[in-house]
Amino acid sequence: MKFPRLLAPALATVFLSLAAITAIRAADAPKAAKAPEPAAAPNAADKMFAEYFRTETGKLAASSLAEVKTLRDWTDRRAEYREQLFEMLGLSPRPEKTDLRATITGREEHAEFSVEKLHFQSLPGLYATANLYVPKNLTGRVPAILYGCGHADVKEGGVSMGNKTGYQHHGAWFARHGYVCLVLDTIQLGELEGVHHGSRRFGMYWWNSRGYTPAGVEAWNGIRALDYLQSRPEVDGEKIGMTGRSGGGAYTWYTAALDDRIKVAVPVAGITDLHNHVIDGTVKGHCDCMFMVNTYRWDYTKLAALLAPRPLLLANSDKDTIFPLDGVLRVHGELARLYALHKASDKLGLLITEGPHKDTQDLQVPAFRWFNRWLKNEPDTLVKVAAEKLFTPKQLRVFPPGGEPKDERTTKIHDTFVPMAAPAIPANAAGWSQQRTAWMQALREKSFRGWPTTEEPIQLARVTASRPETWEFSAQGPVRLPLVVQRTANGAPAKRVLLHVLDHDEPVTAPAAAPADAAIVRFFPRGLGPTASSLAAADQNEVRRRYLLLGQTVDSMRVWDIRRAIAALRSKELFGDTPITLVGYRDQAINALYASLFIDGLAGIELVSPPASHMTGPDYLNVLRYLDIPQAAVMAAARQPVKFSHANPDEWSWTTKAAQVIGLPAERLQW
């Protein structure tokens, strides 16, 4: 079946122009990356969604700090913004600051400093490995630097030495100039190798549902590293700075935004704005560790602003393809405005050097001087000694071969870092009512916050008049979606409407026939069926990752599409107030289920082969912090009958037990 007017050709003609991001240095990405798939030309749907991302990004960019006109505006909001960031990193409520159990496993000596090889537990079993560079012949407490590593893959014989060994020259330079410096491994590419690539490489989109991002782990490890530094007798705890490049630059932004103990910061090549990530496609060059779960729909200027008015040097190179110069300058421009409000413009610096995404001396020397200026009050000290690697990677490894701790959970920390809700069966109907209210509030504020705040006109239009008819409506902005309408067999007015919400595998022509008294409507939400992408699978994955950056998921917006499809069917041009039953297939069954929680007056819902958990089904931001699909099913059954087809009742025992406790009629759950 053809849809000649489905997608207007006047929409944007460019999408995912990522040729500029053809390679990332081996020091900044794991070596196991797959060979790129052959490029595919974008189709009309791809161009439509390019325009969608352009529109949504523009809205967030325009609103990012729009409410901050005066210093009072900022100071009144800063604590709230910081708390939102804690939440978006999976750190609200705060994890308990348990005993670090810091352990030194060895020491290497240099004429000017020593290197302690150590590990600590930022949470029980969450081991962080690090090297502490300590100057010799200290006579008192000195400033300290926390150094966050980028993605340096350093292995010998298949054993990770930790990316701290790839950035050892920074620790050595600081120690040779009177600083204590802790060079901290990340969970990915550290000695205990965790995962930064959940959605980028491994399809772990349930991270979104859990409210998990590895950026949260790295920020927490940074906060606990500050605790460790302050426990050291050599360290002046009031004079701690932080720096790092690439991933380490990002963790500098996050950690310093959350913790004022960082007095001076130099994030290098670690930030740009949503325009670069979403519209220009630099998201393709980054793993998940760069991004927060963007529940509150921030642009990254708001993250950067949380460092004001502390001394901050924003450093980047002019040919960095994953942190492009134009985005860096936009972030700096907003920061300059905020620092001016603080009357602290002298504390904000911008360093742009020539070169690609690379750890160069041109970037290093000004960073060193910035710390000398603001932590040691030595603004004019010349940097005469280069940053050099002075040890072999094996010399700096913390754990001996085979000596990794048996109780470590670093490698699988994504399974436990953000607690997952385990709702109890309600005790009674009153308890259920209270719980349902709380869950609905959580869904609106934490999972579906990315929905439009106002409903625009449906703009319903008939595309083809032949049987079955094709109609098209506006789901959101430039996103227009088709409805295939099959009237009753005898042409009489329908007494009921069955809206079939189809998943990937259903042909647009199924089901084959309508009952005598019913009209059947076939509908694919965005990105499926008629609006499916023609891009290679890897590029389609990067499109999906863009939704997270905008505080959405593709499935949360499909729930919105289903709501809009119902609104279109209820228009006078189609079926008005004729009763509508939703029939959803597989993942779209769950999207239909959640849509029903926000639609009044449905006749019923049928769930065909539905997954029983968001761990395997559609992903919505943060949903598993509050409830899972069986709880949503009870909420839906309290509103209209819910029928399960091709579902295992054993997987839905919570649903059936809760329905009995709260007194739902038996016909509200059908098998």
For 73-87, write each residue's pLDDT tens digit. Answer: 999 999 999 999 999
- The CB density around residue 93, as the number of other CB atoms within 10 Å, is 8
SS3 68: coil
Among the residue ranges 38-42, 228-232, 545-549, the one predicted with the least confidence is 38-42
- The CB density around residue 668, as the number of other CB atoms within 10 Å, is 17
Residue where the block lists tokens 């009674």: 428
Residue-level pLDDT at 6: 37
Tokens of 665: 């009629």
SS3 534: coil
Gap between the Cα atoms of 163 and 161, Å rounded? 7
Question: What whole-number percentage of the chain has pLDDT above 90?
Answer: 90
Query: pLDDT tens across 350-390, in order?
Result: 999 999 999 999 999 999 999 999 999 999 989 999 999 99
Gap between the Cα atoms of 657 and 353, Å rounded? 64
Q: Residue 308: CB partners within 8 Å, gap ≥ 6?
A: 74, 335, 338, 339, 342, 344, 348
Task: Write the DSSP assignment of 313-359 as a string of letters.
Answer: EEEEETT-SSS-HHHHHHHHHHHHHHHHHTT-GGGEEEEEESSSSS-
Gap between the Cα atoms of 331 and 559, Å rounded? 33
The model's pTM: 0.92
Tokens of 475: 């789901």
Mean pLDDT confidence for 132-151 = 97
Query: Phi/psi of residue 206, each to 5°?
Result: -65, -15
- CA torsion, ordered 369, 371, 375, 377, to nearest 10 deg: 10
- For the chain, the C-alpha Rg in angstroms (whole number) is 27
Tokens of 175: 């120690």
pLDDT at position 9 over 50: no
Q: Are 172 and 158 in contact (CB under 8 A)?
A: no
pLDDT at position 41 over 90: no
Residue-level pLDDT at 12: 29
pLDDT at position 110 over 60: yes
| DSSP β-ladder status, 469-476 and 479-486 | antiparallel
Residue-level pLDDT at 7: 36
Q: Are 541 and 200 in contact (CB under 8 A)?
A: yes
Mean pLDDT score of the chain: 93
Residue-level pLDDT at 13: 25
Task: Write the DSSP assignment of 82-127 as a string of letters.
Answer: HHHHHHHTT-SSPPP------EEEEEEE-SSEEEEEEEEEEETTEE
Nearest to 498 by CA among 529, 462, 523: 523
Domains of the chain: 88-415 (3.40.50.1820), 429-450+486-670 (3.40.50.1820)
Query: pLDDT tens across 591-618, in order?
Result: 999 999 999 999 999 999 999 999 999 9
Q: Residue 270: CB partners within 8 Å, gap ≥ 6?
A: 244, 245, 246, 247, 248, 249, 250, 251, 252, 253, 323
Gap between the Cα atoms of 530 and 538, Å rounded? 20
Query: pLDDT tens across 268-277, in order?
Result: 999 999 999 9
Instruction: Give the pLDDT band of residue 507 (cuts 50, 70, 90).
Output: low
Among the residue ranges 17-26, 331-340, 397-406, 542-551, the one predicted with the least confidence is 17-26
Residue-level pLDDT at 515: 73
Among the residue ranges 191-195, 405-409, 464-468, 605-609, the one predicted with the least confidence is 464-468
CA 347 to chain centre: 30
Residue-level pLDDT at 25: 30
Q: Are 253 and 303 in contact (CB under 8 A)?
A: yes
For 14-35, the three-class secondary structure string (H helix, E strand, C coil) is: CCCCCHHHCCCCHHHCCCCCCC
With 0-12 CB in 10 A as exposed, 13-18 as middle and 19+ as buried, what is 96? exposed
pLDDT at position 30 over 80: no
Tokens of 375: 């932590």
Instruction: Give the pLDDT band of residue 39 (cuts 50, 70, 90).
Output: low
Mean pLDDT confidence for 93-119 = 98
CA 655 to chain centre: 30
Residue-level pLDDT at 467: 86
Q: Residue 291: CB partners within 8 Å, gap ≥ 6?
A: 213, 215, 548, 549
Tokens of 616: 């395997």
Nearest to 58 by CA among 303, 305, 299: 299
pLDDT at position 333 over 90: yes
pLDDT at position 31 over 50: no
Q: Residue 365: CB partners within 8 Å, gap ≥ 6?
A: 383
Instruction: Give the pLDDT band of residue 38 (cuts 50, 70, 90).
Output: low
Question: What whole-number percentage of the chain has pLDDT above 70?
Answer: 93
Give alpha helix (H) positions in 202-275: 206-210, 214-231, 247-258, 274
Residue-level pLDDT at 32: 40
Instruction: Give the pLDDT band of residue 465 (cuts 50, 70, 90).
Output: confident
CA 274 to chain centre: 12
Q: Which helix (H) or strand (E) holds 436?
A: helix 429-442
Query: pLDDT tens across 639-670, in order?
Result: 999 999 999 999 999 999 999 999 999 999 99
Tokens of 304: 């950067």
Mean pLDDT confidence for 109-132 = 98
Gap between the Cα atoms of 68 and 169, Å rounded? 40
Tokens of 97: 């600051």
